[in-house]
Structure 1
C-alpha cells in the first residue's frame, strides 16, 4: 500500500480478534455472520468478503 492512508485502523485484542470498522462495513455491506478471506500478496494484507467456502491455511 506504500503511501496510501487507511480508511480506518483497528487493534488486535488479547483474544486475537479485531472489529471491522463501520466505514468498511457500510461500504462493503458486511454484516454479522459474513465471512472474510485473508490473503497476503507481495507483503500486503488483503481482506475480502467471501462466500465462506475457503479454509484456514496456517
Structure 2
C-alpha cells in the first residue's frame, strides 16, 4: 500500500501540523471545548490523539 490510512502514532508522522498541534494542546490544557473539522482523511484523528497524549 502506498499510504497508511491508519491514524498516526508519532509526532514526526504529522507533517506540517506543528502549529495546529501546539494550539490544540494549549486549548486542551486550558479545558476549552474544541472542534476539529475538515474533510475525510486529512489527519483529524491523528492530530487529536497526539494532542491528548501530550496534554
Establish whether TM, by shorter chain, passes 0.5.
Answer: no
Q: State the TM-score, normalized to the length of structure 2.
A: 0.25
User: More strand by proportion, 1 or 2?
Assistant: 1
Q: State the TM-score, normalized to the length of structure 1.
A: 0.25
User: More helix by proportion, 1 or 2?
Assistant: 2
Larger relative contact order (CA 8 Å, sep ≥ 6): 2
Pair member with larger Rg: 1
